[in-house]
Amino acid sequence: MESIVVNTEIAIFGAGAWGTALGIHLANNGHPTTLWSHRSADIPDIVRTKINQRYLPDIRFPDNLDVTDCLEKVAAIPNWLLAIPSHAFTEVFTQAWRFGAQPKHILWATKGLCSKSGSLLHQVVQQIVGQVQPVALLSGPSFAREVALGMPTAVTIAASDGAESDFWASCFACKTFNVYTSKDIIGVQVGGAVKNIIALAAGMSDGLGYGANARCALITRGLAEISALATTLGADLQTSLGLSGVGDLILTCTDNQSRNRRCGYRLGQGETYTEIQQSIGQVIEGVSAVEQVSQLAQALKLNMPITQMLMMILKGQKTPAAAFNDFFAQDPMPE
Protein backbone atom coordinates (compact mmCIF):
# COMPACT_ATOMS: atom_id res chain seq x y z
CA MET A 1 0.00 0.00 0.00
CA GLU A 2 1.05 3.61 -0.50
CA SER A 3 1.59 5.90 2.47
CA ILE A 4 -1.71 7.44 3.59
CA VAL A 5 -0.21 10.34 5.53
CA VAL A 6 1.93 12.48 3.18
CA ASN A 7 4.19 15.47 3.72
CA THR A 8 4.24 14.86 7.46
CA GLU A 9 7.30 16.52 9.00
CA ILE A 10 9.21 14.12 11.26
CA ALA A 11 12.14 14.61 13.64
CA ILE A 12 14.45 11.67 14.31
CA PHE A 13 16.62 11.80 17.41
CA GLY A 14 19.71 9.71 16.69
CA ALA A 15 21.72 9.54 13.48
CA GLY A 16 23.24 6.10 13.99
CA ALA A 17 22.59 3.30 11.54
CA TRP A 18 19.01 2.71 12.70
CA GLY A 19 17.95 6.35 12.92
CA THR A 20 19.53 7.08 9.55
CA ALA A 21 17.85 4.08 7.92
CA LEU A 22 14.44 5.09 9.27
CA GLY A 23 15.07 8.65 8.11
CA ILE A 24 15.92 7.49 4.59
CA HIS A 25 12.81 5.32 4.52
CA LEU A 26 10.46 8.04 5.79
CA ALA A 27 11.92 10.63 3.43
CA ASN A 28 11.55 8.23 0.51
CA ASN A 29 7.95 7.77 1.66
CA GLY A 30 7.28 11.48 1.13
CA HIS A 31 7.88 12.91 4.61
CA PRO A 32 10.28 15.85 5.17
CA THR A 33 12.58 14.41 7.83
CA THR A 34 15.32 15.90 10.00
CA LEU A 35 17.94 13.79 11.76
CA TRP A 36 19.48 15.00 14.99
CA SER A 37 23.07 13.86 15.59
CA HIS A 38 25.19 14.41 18.68
CA ARG A 39 28.28 14.01 16.47
CA SER A 40 28.69 17.62 15.34
CA ALA A 41 31.97 16.87 13.59
CA ASP A 42 30.28 14.42 11.20
CA ILE A 43 27.58 16.80 9.99
CA PRO A 44 29.54 18.83 7.38
CA ASP A 45 30.53 15.64 5.54
CA ILE A 46 26.96 14.27 5.71
CA VAL A 47 25.58 17.55 4.34
CA ARG A 48 28.20 17.66 1.56
CA THR A 49 27.99 14.02 0.45
CA LYS A 50 24.38 13.22 1.45
CA ILE A 51 25.76 10.01 2.98
CA ASN A 52 26.23 8.97 6.63
CA GLN A 53 29.57 7.34 5.91
CA ARG A 54 30.17 6.32 9.52
CA TYR A 55 27.06 4.14 9.82
CA LEU A 56 25.54 3.52 6.38
CA PRO A 57 28.30 4.03 3.83
CA ASP A 58 27.36 4.51 0.17
CA ILE A 59 23.61 4.94 0.77
CA ARG A 60 22.56 8.43 -0.34
CA PHE A 61 20.03 10.58 1.47
CA PRO A 62 16.85 11.64 -0.33
CA ASP A 63 16.63 15.40 -0.92
CA ASN A 64 14.01 15.82 1.83
CA LEU A 65 16.23 14.31 4.55
CA ASP A 66 18.30 16.83 6.52
CA VAL A 67 20.70 16.52 9.45
CA THR A 68 21.48 18.89 12.31
CA ASP A 69 23.14 18.95 15.73
CA CYS A 70 20.63 21.50 17.07
CA LEU A 71 18.40 19.69 19.53
CA GLU A 72 16.09 22.68 19.92
CA LYS A 73 15.46 22.74 16.16
CA VAL A 74 14.34 19.11 15.96
CA ALA A 75 12.36 19.39 19.21
CA ALA A 76 10.18 22.01 17.52
CA ILE A 77 9.01 19.49 14.91
CA PRO A 78 5.61 18.08 15.95
CA ASN A 79 6.32 14.39 15.30
CA TRP A 80 9.16 12.72 17.22
CA LEU A 81 10.91 9.45 16.50
CA LEU A 82 13.65 8.41 18.94
CA ALA A 83 16.27 5.99 17.63
CA ILE A 84 19.00 6.44 20.20
CA PRO A 85 20.76 3.78 22.32
CA SER A 86 18.89 2.89 25.49
CA HIS A 87 21.66 4.24 27.74
CA ALA A 88 21.10 7.75 26.32
CA PHE A 89 17.33 7.55 25.86
CA THR A 90 16.19 9.23 29.08
CA GLU A 91 18.74 12.04 28.91
CA VAL A 92 18.04 12.99 25.29
CA PHE A 93 14.28 12.71 25.65
CA THR A 94 14.29 14.83 28.81
CA GLN A 95 16.47 17.51 27.20
CA ALA A 96 14.23 17.67 24.12
CA TRP A 97 11.06 17.84 26.23
CA ARG A 98 12.42 20.77 28.24
CA PHE A 99 12.27 22.99 25.15
CA GLY A 100 8.51 22.94 25.69
CA ALA A 101 7.53 22.06 22.14
CA GLN A 102 5.09 19.31 23.26
CA PRO A 103 5.05 17.11 20.14
CA LYS A 104 1.79 15.79 18.78
CA HIS A 105 3.11 12.27 18.13
CA ILE A 106 5.92 10.31 19.84
CA LEU A 107 7.43 7.02 18.63
CA TRP A 108 10.63 5.27 19.61
CA ALA A 109 12.58 2.53 17.86
CA THR A 110 15.05 1.92 20.70
CA LYS A 111 15.32 -1.72 21.81
CA GLY A 112 16.34 -1.92 25.44
CA LEU A 113 15.53 -0.90 29.00
CA CYS A 114 16.30 2.29 30.88
CA SER A 115 19.98 2.06 31.81
CA LYS A 116 19.49 3.67 35.24
CA SER A 117 16.28 2.10 36.52
CA GLY A 118 15.81 -0.98 34.34
CA SER A 119 12.30 0.28 33.54
CA LEU A 120 10.57 -0.30 30.24
CA LEU A 121 10.91 2.79 28.07
CA HIS A 122 7.19 3.58 27.96
CA GLN A 123 7.38 4.03 31.75
CA VAL A 124 10.24 6.50 31.29
CA VAL A 125 8.34 8.43 28.62
CA GLN A 126 5.10 8.56 30.60
CA GLN A 127 6.92 9.86 33.67
CA ILE A 128 8.12 12.79 31.56
CA VAL A 129 5.09 13.52 29.36
CA GLY A 130 2.26 12.22 31.53
CA GLN A 131 -0.32 9.52 30.96
CA VAL A 132 -2.52 11.58 28.61
CA GLN A 133 0.02 11.93 25.77
CA PRO A 134 -0.30 8.94 23.38
CA VAL A 135 2.98 7.21 22.59
CA ALA A 136 4.08 4.34 20.36
CA LEU A 137 7.07 2.13 19.61
CA LEU A 138 8.42 0.31 16.58
CA SER A 139 10.10 -3.09 16.76
CA GLY A 140 10.57 -6.26 14.76
CA PRO A 141 13.09 -8.06 12.53
CA SER A 142 14.73 -5.15 10.72
CA PHE A 143 18.39 -4.59 9.94
CA ALA A 144 19.16 -0.93 9.26
CA ARG A 145 21.00 -1.38 5.98
CA GLU A 146 18.23 -3.47 4.44
CA VAL A 147 15.62 -0.88 5.44
CA ALA A 148 17.73 1.93 3.98
CA LEU A 149 18.09 -0.01 0.72
CA GLY A 150 14.33 -0.48 0.48
CA MET A 151 14.45 -4.25 0.89
CA PRO A 152 11.22 -5.98 2.04
CA THR A 153 10.67 -5.60 5.80
CA ALA A 154 7.82 -6.16 8.24
CA VAL A 155 7.62 -4.57 11.71
CA THR A 156 5.23 -4.06 14.59
CA ILE A 157 4.11 -0.65 15.82
CA ALA A 158 2.57 -0.83 19.28
CA ALA A 159 0.54 1.79 21.10
CA SER A 160 -2.20 1.67 23.70
CA ASP A 161 -4.07 4.20 21.54
CA GLY A 162 -5.10 2.71 18.19
CA ALA A 163 -5.15 6.12 16.49
CA GLU A 164 -1.48 6.62 17.44
CA SER A 165 -0.32 3.30 15.97
CA ASP A 166 -2.42 3.98 12.86
CA PHE A 167 -0.79 7.38 12.39
CA TRP A 168 2.73 5.95 12.49
CA ALA A 169 1.78 2.92 10.41
CA SER A 170 0.55 5.29 7.72
CA CYS A 171 3.84 7.19 7.81
CA PHE A 172 5.92 4.05 7.35
CA ALA A 173 3.80 1.73 5.21
CA CYS A 174 4.71 1.24 1.55
CA LYS A 175 5.11 -1.59 -0.95
CA THR A 176 8.31 -2.85 0.70
CA PHE A 177 7.61 -1.95 4.34
CA ASN A 178 4.76 -3.86 5.92
CA VAL A 179 3.41 -2.64 9.28
CA TYR A 180 1.40 -4.65 11.80
CA THR A 181 -0.16 -2.80 14.73
CA SER A 182 -0.51 -3.96 18.32
CA LYS A 183 -1.81 -2.67 21.64
CA ASP A 184 0.65 -4.82 23.61
CA ILE A 185 3.21 -2.13 24.33
CA ILE A 186 4.81 -4.24 27.09
CA GLY A 187 5.22 -7.43 25.09
CA VAL A 188 6.73 -5.64 22.10
CA GLN A 189 9.30 -3.89 24.31
CA VAL A 190 10.30 -7.07 26.16
CA GLY A 191 10.85 -8.93 22.90
CA GLY A 192 13.06 -6.15 21.53
CA ALA A 193 15.20 -6.00 24.67
CA VAL A 194 15.65 -9.67 25.57
CA LYS A 195 16.31 -10.93 22.02
CA ASN A 196 19.63 -9.06 22.15
CA ILE A 197 20.63 -11.15 25.17
CA ILE A 198 19.76 -14.40 23.42
CA ALA A 199 21.68 -13.27 20.33
CA LEU A 200 24.79 -12.85 22.51
CA ALA A 201 24.32 -16.42 23.72
CA ALA A 202 23.71 -17.82 20.23
CA GLY A 203 26.78 -16.05 18.88
CA MET A 204 28.88 -17.20 21.82
CA SER A 205 27.79 -20.80 21.28
CA ASP A 206 28.82 -20.59 17.62
CA GLY A 207 32.12 -18.98 18.62
CA LEU A 208 32.75 -21.97 20.86
CA GLY A 209 32.05 -24.25 17.90
CA TYR A 210 28.99 -25.90 19.44
CA GLY A 211 27.02 -26.16 16.19
CA ALA A 212 23.50 -25.76 14.90
CA ASN A 213 21.81 -27.98 17.49
CA ALA A 214 23.04 -25.81 20.34
CA ARG A 215 22.13 -22.60 18.54
CA CYS A 216 18.57 -23.74 17.93
CA ALA A 217 18.23 -24.91 21.54
CA LEU A 218 19.30 -21.46 22.75
CA ILE A 219 16.88 -19.69 20.42
CA THR A 220 14.00 -21.89 21.56
CA ARG A 221 14.74 -21.64 25.26
CA GLY A 222 15.45 -17.95 24.76
CA LEU A 223 11.93 -17.52 23.42
CA ALA A 224 10.68 -19.20 26.60
CA GLU A 225 12.56 -16.59 28.66
CA ILE A 226 11.12 -13.73 26.60
CA SER A 227 7.60 -15.14 26.97
CA ALA A 228 7.94 -15.73 30.71
CA LEU A 229 9.19 -12.21 31.42
CA ALA A 230 6.66 -10.56 29.13
CA THR A 231 3.62 -12.38 30.49
CA THR A 232 4.73 -11.81 34.09
CA LEU A 233 4.79 -8.08 33.31
CA GLY A 234 1.27 -8.29 31.88
CA ALA A 235 1.90 -8.88 28.16
CA ASP A 236 -0.05 -11.15 25.81
CA LEU A 237 1.72 -14.45 25.10
CA GLN A 238 0.83 -14.15 21.40
CA THR A 239 3.08 -11.09 21.09
CA SER A 240 6.14 -13.24 21.80
CA LEU A 241 5.16 -15.41 18.83
CA GLY A 242 4.98 -12.44 16.46
CA LEU A 243 7.39 -10.16 14.62
CA SER A 244 8.64 -8.36 17.73
CA GLY A 245 9.21 -11.67 19.53
CA VAL A 246 10.22 -14.77 17.64
CA GLY A 247 10.70 -12.81 14.39
CA ASP A 248 13.29 -10.43 15.80
CA LEU A 249 14.82 -13.24 17.86
CA ILE A 250 15.51 -15.43 14.82
CA LEU A 251 16.92 -12.51 12.82
CA THR A 252 19.27 -11.35 15.56
CA CYS A 253 20.50 -14.82 16.49
CA THR A 254 21.24 -16.10 12.99
CA ASP A 255 22.65 -13.26 10.87
CA ASN A 256 26.02 -11.58 11.29
CA GLN A 257 24.56 -8.14 10.58
CA SER A 258 23.58 -8.37 14.26
CA ARG A 259 26.14 -6.64 16.48
CA ASN A 260 24.96 -8.71 19.44
CA ARG A 261 25.52 -11.99 17.63
CA ARG A 262 28.96 -10.86 16.38
CA CYS A 263 29.92 -9.75 19.88
CA GLY A 264 28.87 -13.09 21.35
CA TYR A 265 30.78 -15.00 18.67
CA ARG A 266 33.98 -13.13 19.40
CA LEU A 267 33.55 -13.55 23.17
CA GLY A 268 33.22 -17.28 22.52
CA GLN A 269 36.50 -17.18 20.61
CA GLY A 270 38.29 -15.60 23.55
CA GLU A 271 38.32 -11.88 22.81
CA THR A 272 37.56 -9.38 25.56
CA TYR A 273 34.48 -7.20 25.49
CA THR A 274 36.64 -4.07 25.45
CA GLU A 275 38.43 -5.25 22.30
CA ILE A 276 35.13 -6.12 20.64
CA GLN A 277 33.44 -2.82 21.56
CA GLN A 278 36.34 -0.80 20.16
CA SER A 279 36.33 -2.84 16.95
CA ILE A 280 32.58 -2.70 16.31
CA GLY A 281 32.39 0.97 17.25
CA GLN A 282 28.68 0.97 18.08
CA VAL A 283 26.60 0.23 21.15
CA ILE A 284 25.97 -3.47 21.81
CA GLU A 285 22.60 -3.31 23.53
CA GLY A 286 22.59 -6.93 24.71
CA VAL A 287 25.52 -6.44 27.07
CA SER A 288 23.80 -3.79 29.20
CA ALA A 289 20.49 -5.63 28.88
CA VAL A 290 21.96 -8.73 30.54
CA GLU A 291 22.39 -7.01 33.91
CA GLN A 292 19.13 -5.05 33.68
CA VAL A 293 17.02 -8.09 32.77
CA SER A 294 18.82 -10.30 35.28
CA GLN A 295 17.97 -7.86 38.08
CA LEU A 296 14.38 -7.60 36.87
CA ALA A 297 14.06 -11.40 36.77
CA GLN A 298 15.39 -11.68 40.32
CA ALA A 299 12.91 -9.06 41.54
CA LEU A 300 10.08 -11.00 39.87
CA LYS A 301 11.45 -14.38 41.08
CA LEU A 302 11.69 -15.60 37.48
CA ASN A 303 14.12 -18.28 36.36
CA MET A 304 15.94 -17.08 33.22
CA PRO A 305 18.90 -19.48 32.87
CA ILE A 306 20.39 -18.07 29.65
CA THR A 307 20.34 -14.53 31.00
CA GLN A 308 21.84 -15.69 34.30
CA MET A 309 24.52 -17.68 32.47
CA LEU A 310 25.57 -14.62 30.48
CA MET A 311 25.61 -12.54 33.65
CA MET A 312 28.20 -14.90 35.15
CA ILE A 313 30.28 -14.79 31.96
CA LEU A 314 30.27 -11.00 31.67
CA LYS A 315 31.16 -10.66 35.36
CA GLY A 316 34.10 -13.02 34.88
CA GLN A 317 32.68 -15.64 37.24
CA LYS A 318 32.79 -18.34 34.55
CA THR A 319 34.44 -18.76 31.19
CA PRO A 320 32.11 -19.09 28.20
CA ALA A 321 33.08 -22.75 27.77
CA ALA A 322 32.46 -23.63 31.41
CA ALA A 323 29.16 -21.75 31.53
CA PHE A 324 27.83 -23.34 28.35
CA ASN A 325 28.93 -26.80 29.41
CA ASP A 326 27.05 -26.35 32.69
CA PHE A 327 23.99 -25.05 30.85
CA PHE A 328 23.77 -28.05 28.54
CA ALA A 329 24.49 -30.49 31.37
CA GLN A 330 21.39 -29.47 33.36
CA ASP A 331 19.25 -32.20 34.84
CA PRO A 332 16.12 -33.17 32.89
CA MET A 333 13.21 -30.81 33.50
CA PRO A 334 9.70 -30.20 32.19
CA GLU A 335 9.53 -28.02 29.08
Give, in order, the Cα–Cα distances in Å from 39 to each of 54, 226, 257: 11, 34, 23
Is residue 277 a contact partner of residue 284, using CB atoms and an 8 Å limit?
Answer: yes
**Rounded Cα–Cα distance for residues 302 and 252 (Å):** 24
Side-chain-facing half-sphere of 187: CA atoms under 13 Å: 25
Query: Shortest CA distance to 136 belongs to which of 199, 52, 80, 84?
Result: 80
Q: What whole-number distance in Å separates Cα of residue 107 and Cα of residue 105?
A: 7
Cα separation values, 315 from 102, 195, 308, 311, Å: 42, 20, 11, 6
Segments of the chain assigned E as strands: 10-13, 33-36, 65-68, 79-82, 105-108, 135-139, 153-158, 177-182
Burial (0-12, 13-18, 19+ Cβ within 10 Å), 283: middle
| Degrees, nearest 5: CA angle 28-96-164 | 55
Query: Catalytic: which of 73, 175, 195, 318?
Result: 195
Indicate the residue type of 98: R
Active site residue 195: yes
Q: Which residues are catalytic?
A: 195
